[in-house]
Amino acid sequence: MCAVSRYTVALALGGWLMGSAAQAAEKTVVVLGTATPGGGFPVYGAAVADTVNEVDPTLALLPQNTKGSTENVPLLEAGRLDVALVQGEVVHEALGGIGRPPAKLKLLAAMYSTPGMFVVRADSPYRAIADLRGKPVAFGARGSGLVILARYVLDGLGLDQERDFQAVYLDRAGDGPAMVLDGRVAALWGGGLGWPGFTAVAGGPGGARFLAPQADERARILAKHAFLKPLTVPAGAYAGLDAPLASVGSWSFILTRADLPDDVAYRLARALHRGAAQLGQRLPQARETTAANTLAAAPRREQIHPGVLRYLREVGVDR
């Protein structure tokens, strides 16, 4: 379906309408790109779609699996997606024109913060990132922005994914936990709160241990890559994580294609934030998806979609 024709379509009967078969309702269909099954983005995308569609019945937000952040940006640019979930490092490179022309995309919302870290089996000998050198490490699905976060973190430590590790890249994000549990890889890289890969390893027979940059390592990383932020994973976020774990990372965002109509962006933002309570109940880490965080986390205010800025002004967040 082309970008123009998919906006207003008549949807009748079936799951769209619970009333009379003679009734019909016009919905604005918006396609949301997520990532490969088994990762955090499809889970978050489903929660967002359920919330938006519940709060505003004139919207039909439809999640669609993709290869992840690095594919979502060109799909948005080509108009094949309307909105998409994109890891912070990919947003940084795309909007900043790093290694490519600057993308003319806009921000719909800040999703959640993503502190990066490794997970290993609790019975493994690995207790620091340096212990993983030379070992097989699953860095995630090739299209995932988490792979790029790992590249920046390791670069800040003078390490390279390919040179210093036996790097493993996954076809599906959900394949990683089993590889840690059965010993095919020493560690799995990931990020954020409630990340399915971490939950799966931590819930395994022997439990898990999490490895993040230590204080001096965090200082080195942030000195080299200032766009990253110091972030902390709270105690209890995963089974076996008994104390807060400091790390570095970034915010992930919902991006829109450049020509998404202002009214559609406004309605999406309004439904998303009016449904904040429902969204947080569906997915705890989505409690960070707030209007205030969108304004605070945006690299630059002018990168926020005009329709979203209209909503932020309306609710008094952007004065």
Domain shared by 79 and 150, yes or no: no
* Domain coverage including residue 40: 8-112+251-314
Alpha-carbon distance of 77 to 81, in angstroms, equals: 8
Q: What is the pLDDT of residue 25?
A: 57
Task: Tell whether 243 and 139 lie within a shared domain.
Answer: yes
> Residue 2 falls within a domain, yes or no?
no
Considering the domain boundaries, does residue 222 fall inside one?
Answer: yes
**Do 122 and 155 lie in a common domain?**
yes
Asked which of 199, 220, 250 is the last residue of a domain, the reply is 250
Q: How far apart are CA 66 and CA 36, in angstroms?
A: 6
User: Looking at the structure, do residues 89 and 126 belong to the same domain, yes or no?
Assistant: no
Kindly state the tokens that stand for 266: 């406004």
Contact assessment for residue 32 and residue 64, using Cβ atoms and an 8 Å cutoff = yes
| 8 A C-beta contact, residue 63 and residue 29 | no
pLDDT at 255: 98
Nearest to 109 by CA among 249, 280, 314, 311: 311
- pLDDT at 12 (0 to 100): 34
pLDDT (tens place) for every residue of the chain, 319 residues total: 444 334 444 343 344 444 433 333 589 999 999 999 888 899 999 999 999 999 999 999 999 999 999 999 999 999 999 999 999 999 999 999 999 999 999 999 999 999 999 999 999 999 999 999 999 999 998 878 889 999 999 999 999 999 999 999 998 888 999 999 999 999 999 998 889 999 999 999 999 999 999 999 999 999 999 999 999 999 999 998 999 999 999 999 999 999 999 999 999 999 999 999 999 999 999 999 999 999 999 999 999 999 999 999 999 998 7
* Domain identity same for 186 and 210: yes
Q: Could you give the CA distance from residue 204 to residue 240 in angstroms, rounded to a whole number? A: 11
- List, as one string, the DSSP characters of 210-279: EE---HHHHHHHHHH-TTSEEEEEPTTSSTT--S-EEEEEEEEEEEE-TT--HHHHHHHHHHHHHTHHHH
Same domain, 197 and 301: no
Last residue of a domain, one of 211, 227, 250: 250
pLDDT of res. 298 = 94
| Interior angle at CA 201, CA 206 and CA 118, nearest 5 | 110
169 and 276 within one domain: no
Cβ distance 17 to 25 under 8 Å? Answer: yes
Tally of domains within the chain: 2
CA angle 311, 61, 257 (to 5 degrees): 65
CA gap 116, 251 in Å, rounded: 11
Cβ 266 vs Cβ 313: under 8 Å: no
Whole-angstrom Cα distance, residue 22 to residue 211? 58
Q: For 232, what's the count of Cα atoms within 13 Å in the CB-facing half-sphere? A: 8
Judge if 96 and 151 occupy the same domain. Answer: no
Measured between alpha carbons, how far is 119 from 209 in angstroms, rounded to an integer? 6
pLDDT for position 2: 43
| Same-domain check for residues 108 and 256 | yes
CATH of the domain at 266: 3.40.190.10
Task: Output the pLDDT for position 144.
Answer: 83
Which residue among 195, 215, 250 closes a domain?
250
319 domain residue, yes or no: no
Distance CA 231, CA 239 (A): 19
Residue 3 placed within a domain: no
Whether residues 55 and 80 share a domain: the answer is yes
Q: Are residues 70 and 143 in the same domain?
A: no
What per-residue confidence (pLDDT) applies to 14?
Answer: 42
Q: What is the pTM of this model?
A: 0.80
Q: What is the pLDDT of residue 52?
A: 98
For residues 125 and 94, membership in a common domain is answered with no
